[in-house]
Amino acid sequence: MKKTDKFLIEELNIDPKILSYINEAEKQLEEQFKTLDDVTEFNQYKVLGALQKNRVSDKHFSWNTGYGYNDAGRETTEQVFADLFKTEDAIVRPIIVNGTHALSLTLTGILRPGDEIIYCTGKPYDTLEQVIGIKGKAGDGSLKDFGVVYKQVELKPDGTIDLEALGKTITEKTKMVCMQRATGYGWRKSMSVDEMGECCSFVKSINPDIIMMADNCYGEFLDVKEPTEVGVDVMAGSLIKNPGGGLALTGGYIAGKADLIKLISYRLTTVGIGKECGLTFGQTRTMLQGLFMAPKVVNGALKGAMLCAKVFENLGFDVCPGSEDVRSDIIQCVKLGTAEGMIAFCEGIQAAAPVDAYVTPVPWDMPGYDDPVIMAAGAFVQGSSIELSADGPVREPYIVYFQGGLTYEYSKIGVIKGLQAMLEKGLL
C-alpha cells in the first residue's frame, strides 16, 4: 500500500474502496496527463516571455494614489496581457469585480442602439441574461432597454456551432457575434480554440466588419493558442479564474483591438478619460505573480477535472466532457441524478478545503439564478473558481459542476472526499 493511501485511510477515514477507484483512474489517464504537461510547459514559457519583454521590475509593484495617472505598474500589467494574448491593447483592473462585469463592460462599451448581437453558442451564462435583457425588468438598464437587439443560435446536437443557422441569422444590422468558450451551467462540450477560429473565419467572410467577441472564462492556458490568436476581436475573463493563478485577490481583464478597448475603457471610467485613470491599489504584484503561476495551476485543475470524469465514468455516471475528450475549459460536469447526490458531493468538496472545511454548504437563492444554487468552495480568495469548488443549480437532472484546485493533489483530494461523502450516504 502506498504511504499516501495508508495516511488517507488511517488519518482521514477514507474508505479503501474509494482509493481503488482513484488509483485505477490515474493509471488510465497517464498518457493524457503527459500531453497536458507539454501544453503547460509551452504556456509557462509564453508567460515568462511576456513578463521579460515588458521588463517587469519591483517598481511595478508599488502603490499609486489619486487619479492613478502614470501608474507604471498598471500600464505594464496591461501590456503584458496584451502581448500574452497577441492583442493590440488590454484592460486589467482590480475594479472589475468578476467575469460577468468584464463581459458587461465589453458589450455595453461597444454596442449602440439599433445594433444586433448574436450568441452563436446557445444561451449565455445565467448572470448575463439580465445584462442582455433576456430576463429582468424593463428599465433596469439592460442592452434591450437601450435598443440593442438580441438573437441566439443553438448549438448542433453534437455540441458544435451551427454555422449554417448562424449565417441565416446574420443581417446588415449585426454588430457583434459572441461565443462562450466554457459550458456555463449547461450540458455541452466547451468550445475549442480551433472551432472558435473556424467560426470567426465564417462570419468575417459574410461581413468583415462584424466584431467577434469571446467569453474566455475558464479557458485560459488550456491550449497553446488563445481565441484572439485565431480571429476573435475582443475577449474578456476573470482574474480569480485561470489567469490569476489563485493569487490575484480580485479583478478582470479585457483584451483586443485598440479601438474596441478604447470604447470599453470609456464605459469603465468615462468618455474622454478611459484607461488613463484608475488605481490598482497595490494589486499588480499578485496579478503578475498569479499570471506567472497560472499555467501550472491550470494544469493541476485540468488533471483533477479529468480524474473526476474518469472515476465517475467508471462508476456508470454520465459526465461531460468525457475523460478522453479534448477540453477547452476546466469545468467537469457530472450528472448525479438526485438533489441528495449533488448536496453530498458538494459537502465532500467543502470538507476537502483548506479554508472553511468545517462549513456545510446548503442550497440558497443566489442573485441572478432562477433555482437555488449550492456552492462548495473553501477558498483563500472568496469566489475564486481556480481554487477547488463544486456548484450548480439544484434542478433536474441534478448536474454538479466541478472545477479548480491550486494543485493536482488538492483537486484529487476533492474528488476523494466527494466520493466518500456520497458513499457514506448510500449514494454510490
Residue 82 lies in a domain: yes
172 shares its domain with 62: yes
Whether residue 86 sits in one domain with residue 171: yes
> Does the pLDDT value for residue 356 go beyond 70?
yes
411 belongs to a structural domain: yes
Nearest Cα residue to 88 out of 257, 229, 259, 260: 257
Where does the pLDDT of residue 261 fall: very low under 50, low under 70, confident under 90, or very high at 90 and above? very high
* 237/317 same-domain check: no
306 band by pLDDT with thresholds 50, 70 and 90: very high
Task: Please say which residue of 265, 291, 317 terminates a domain.
Answer: 291
Residue 186 pLDDT level (bands cut at 50, 70, 90): confident
Measuring CA to CA, how many Å separate 237 from each of 220, 253, 354? Answer: 9, 6, 26
pLDDT confidence tier of residue 126, bands split at 50, 70 and 90:
confident
Give the DSSP letter string of 132-198.
HTSSS-TTS--TTTTT-EEEE-PPPTTSS--HHHHHHH--TTEEEEEEE-S--SSSSPPPPHHHHHH
Q: 270 and 159, same structural domain?
A: yes
Write out pLDDT tens, residues 224-245. Answer: 999 999 999 999 999 999 999 9
Same domain for 404 and 286: no
pLDDT of 380 higher than 80: yes
pLDDT of residue 369: 74
The model's confidence at residue 402, banded by pLDDT at 50, 70 and 90, is very high
The pLDDT of residue 370 is 79
Q: With respect to residue 405, please indicate whether it lies within any of the assigned structural domains.
A: yes
- Let me know whether 206 and 315 are in one domain: no
Q: Do 152 and 20 share a structural domain?
A: no
Instruction: Please check whether residues 116 and 132 belong to one and the same domain.
Output: yes
Greatest extent of the chain over all pairs of C-alpha atoms, in Å: 67
Assess whether 264 and 312 both reside in one domain. no
> What b/e sequence results for 67-81 when a residue is b if at least 16 CB atoms lie within 10 Å of its CB, and e otherwise?
ebeebebbbbbbbbb
Could you tell me the CATH number of the domain that includes residue 397? 3.90.1150.60
Give the pLDDT confidence score for residue 366 in this predicted structure: 78
Same domain, 196 and 287: yes
**Average pLDDT score over residue span 211-224:** 97
pLDDT in tens, 404-423: 999 999 999 999 999 999 99
pLDDT digits (tens, 9 = 90+) for 72-104: 999 999 999 999 999 999 999 999 999 999 999
Residue whose entry in the numeric block shows the C-alpha cell 502581448: 83
Q: How many domains in the chain?
A: 2
* Residue 57 CB neighbours (<10 A): 10
State which of 264, 291, 318 marks the end of a domain.
Answer: 291
Q: Domain containing 186: what range?
A: 54-291
> Among the three residues 239, 262, 291, which one is the final residue of a domain in this structure?
291
Report yes or no on 48 lying in a domain: no
Residue entry with cell 479583478: 251
Average pLDDT, the chain: 95
Say yes or no: 220 and 235 in one domain: yes
Supply φ then ψ for residue 277, to 5 degrees: -120, 165
Is residue 31 located within the same domain as residue 75?
A: no
377 or 367, which is more confident = 377
Span 6-41, pLDDT tens digits: 999 999 999 999 999 999 999 999 999 999 999 999
pLDDT band for 54, please (50, 70, 90 cuts). Answer: very high
What pLDDT score was predicted for residue 70? 84
What is residue 367's predicted lDDT score, i.e. its pLDDT?
A: 73
In a domain, 97, yes or no: yes
Sign of CA dihedral 350, 356, 361, 364: negative
Q: What's the pLDDT at 305?
A: 97
**pLDDT confidence bin for 185, thresholds 50/70/90:** confident
Is 49 inside any structural domain?
Answer: no
